[in-house]
Structure formats: C-alpha cells, structure tokens
Structure 1
Amino acid sequence: MERVGRGDDAKAWEKLGYRLVLEYRLVFPASFAALPHLVHLASRSAQARGLAGTILRCAAGHHGCDDLLAACADAIAEFSELLDRHLQTRPPDYLETFLDLLAAKEQYHWSAALGDFTDDFYHLACPHCAVEVTIAIGDHGRYSAIRDWHLGDVDRLGLRPAAHEELSGIGRWMHETAVRDAHEPLADGIAHLFGKAECPRCASVFTIADEYTSANSPILQ
C-alpha cells in the first residue's frame, strides 16, 4: 500500500490487485482491511477507485468476512459519495463506475448482471407456464422471444418499458441517476429492463426485473 500510495505505478497496482482479489474474483480478510486505505486514495487515483470497486463487487461471494465488511461501512459510504460525484462528470468509465456504486449500495445482483444495453440478453422462466423466455435489450431490438438454437429468437414480442413514475426502489434510483447524467442508452435500457414482457407461449405479462432477480439474485454470505 505504501508503494502505490506514492503514485500511479502500474506494476505496483497490478501486483496489489492480484494480492487483494484472488483468482476467480475471490476476496478475503486482507481485501477488506485494505478497502478504507483504497477509498482514501480513490479521489486522486483511478487505480485505487477501480480496485476498491472490484472488491465491493466481489462482496456477494463466499468470503466469510461479514464482520470485516460491516466494519468498512463508513469507508463504503464515503466511497459511494465519491463514485456519485465521478458519475456526474460523465466519465469514459461511466458504466464501470455505475456498477461499482450499485455494489457499494449492496445491489450485488444488478452490479453483476447489468450491461451496456448494446447486446444484452436476459434468460428467465415465464412465471405462469415456465417456458424459458429470452429478453433482448439492445441494438438488435427490445423484445421477448423463444430461443430456437437453429432458427434464433422466434415469436418475438415487443417489450413495454416502464414510465418513470411506475418505477420504485433500486430501479427508480438507477433510472433517475442515468437520466440525471444524460446517459440516454442506459436510462432507456433500465426502463425496458424494469418494464414488462409478454410470454410468447402463454401470453401472460410479467415484470422482467422481478422474474430475473428471483431466479438469479445472489445471496450475501
């Protein structure tokens, strides 16, 4: 930490990253012990900001360090404010910062699942007939479909994006933040993700984010 604290030595940061986030993105006591120091450096170091964000994104894993993570609450709150300020500058690393902020808010599921909505697919089971439905949100279209491995996505039906006043909870915060920062592709993608889809098989209508979350949300250990 002393070496990286003196500047932006790329090799030193890379070595520190390997020490604090193990292979397969595993964190351990040293990761959380370093987190407050990384947050202290984050306002002037993109490397520190990125490494602190990586540690938080991994916090949903099986690390057995709940007490150490809880002890970082003040540092995480400070980091959240820093990330939010950084987002408002509309930086090139906007999406990565957005995902780090979601992790800082303990929204690990969306931190891991959210893409840039250029080529995003979400797979879930229809809550009524249990058929697997593919949700596409990106440049290729915004639709629900049945995926056929020979024919591609068939029986496509357009999604129904949520209006801002229909959003609540983390979906509303995500949308408001993207709108505030004039990140139109992200705001539009979130509106569709938290909107509704129709099942091509049984014609039932469901909220995409709710069904995807119930099937994929990780449990913090």
Structure 2
Amino acid sequence: MAIARAIVVEPSVLLMDEPLSSLDAQLRDSMRDEIAGLIRRLNITTIYVTHDHSEAMTIAHKVAVMNDGRIEQIAAPRTIYDSPATTFVASFLGSANSFPYAYELEAVRDVSGEPIFPPHPPGIKRGFLMVRREHVRIFPVSQADEFPANECIQWQATCIKNCFSGERYEVHALTRKGEVFRGFAREPMPLDSKVVIEFDPRQIVFVES
C-alpha cells in the first residue's frame, strides 16, 4: 500500500528505505522480484537503501557501497562483485577469501613453486589477494590423482568446518600457514581430515589496501 501511494503521484525520484526488512525470507524474495519489475516497468529513478547485498545486486543497475557514511565504490553489480575497489566492498558483497599481499614478496606460488603475481595497478605494492569461495574447490587428499593441478593452484590443508548448503558442501580448510580458506566440495569432509584446496590463479583479484 505504501508503494502504491508513492507511485500514484508519478514522482521523478522514488526513495525506498529497507522496504523488505520486516518480511520473512520467502515473501522477501517474492517482493524483491515484484519491486524490481515494477521499477523497470514504470521507469522511475529509484534510490533503494538496503543492507542485503542480494537485494542490491538483483534490483540495481548501479550499486553504491557505503561504509561509515562514505561511498567506497559505485559501479554496476557485476563490476562491484568481480572487481571490488576495497576490502570492505569485497567482504560486504559475498564471502571471499583474502590475504595480505606485498609486490616484493612471493605471496602465492603454483604447484611447481613458481611465484604468481596477479595483475594490479602500477605503483601499488601492497594490498590483498582475493578469491571468491565459489571459485575454490576442496577435495580429499586421497582424490588428488583424480584432479591434476594443470594450471590451477593446489594447497594441502586440514578441514576445520563442513556444512551442507543444499546443493553442495561448504568447507573451511586451514592451510599450513594458518590461513582459513572457504570453498565447496561435492561430498562431506570429516573434520581434521587432510584436504586439497584448488583454485585458478586467473580468478584472483588484487584489492588495494
């Protein structure tokens, strides 16, 4: 009803401040799609305020991520997700694995021991390397022969958390350096079992610190 009252006067700009925050999950998803379709059909410029990144990514043509009242990045949803400008943006828009990186340090090595330096802006020497959890595959060490490294990075680790997410298993694995990586597996992993973390270095994103 509130949305109907707002659009009946044909405003040039429509402001929505957390319109779905009080709804349960199923109704929230349904209303999110309805609002997205309504905005597009009416072609009204809309400022949509939300703490739910899935709402922002689904509804918006452009997303502005704010931190303590300051805009950290404005871009299309795909750009924000794939190329976050800051570590805050990277962590806010979905779970990501990140760890410190210094240009002069050999922070990441492939299976042959060669250092890998993903592309980053010239002159920037320090920041974070980030790889999204959906780009990380985790499997038991016993299956290593079934998954040759090829051009992927593989690290051995220990499973410290394993949970069923509906379609697959989310696994948290602790590396020998003490880094916790999150990724997905096709089968459950026993706690404290030895696993292999695998990801494509081309999926690594450099984020300036």
What's the TM-score, normalizing by structure 1?
A: 0.28
What's the TM-score, normalizing by structure 2?
A: 0.29
Structure (1 or 2) with the greater strand fraction: 2
Structure number, greater radius of gyration? 2
